[in-house]
Amino acid sequence: MKQAMLIVNPSSGKELGKKYSDHAHKTMMEMGYDTEIRVTQGEGDARAFAREACEKKFDFLVAMGGDGTINEAINGMAEQEHRPLFGIIPLGTVNDFARALNIPMKPEEAINIFKENHVQKTDVGKINDRYFVNIVAVGALAEASFSTPDEQKSKIGPLAYIIEGMKKMKEKQPFNLKVLSDHDWEGEALLMLVALTNSVGGMETIAPNAKVNDGQLHVFIIKDMAMPKFLLLLPKILLGELAESEHVHYLKVNNLQAESEYEMIANVDGDEGDKLPITIENLKQHLNILVPREG
Predicted confidence (pLDDT) per residue in 221-274, tens digit: 999 988 778 777 777 776 777 888 899 999 999 999 999 999 999 989 878 899
Q: Which of residues 2 and 12 earns the better pLDDT score?
A: 2
How would you classify the pairing of strands 60-65 and 85-90? parallel
In 3-state terms, the chain is what percent helix, strand and coil (to 5)?
35, 35, 35
Q: Per mean pLDDT, which range of 100-114, 119-133, 205-219 is the poorest? A: 205-219
For the chain, what percent of residues have pLDDT higher than 90?
65
Domains of the chain plus CATH, in order, are 2-117 (3.40.50.10330), 132-284 (2.60.200.40)
Most confident by average pLDDT, 89-93, 118-122, 143-147: 118-122
State yes or no: cis peptide before 90, omega within 30 of 0: no
Predicted confidence (pLDDT) per residue in 33-47, tens digit: 999 999 999 999 999
Output the pLDDT for position 157.
46
Between CA 93 and CA 70 the distance in angstroms is: 13
DSSP code at position 246:
T
Q: Which residues of 32-44 are buried (b: 16+ CB within 10 A; e: fewer)?
A: ebebbbbebeeee
Asked whether residue 184 carries a pLDDT value surpassing 50, the answer given is: yes
Between CA 182 and CA 174 the distance in angstroms is: 24
Asked whether residue 194 carries a pLDDT value surpassing 80, the answer given is: yes
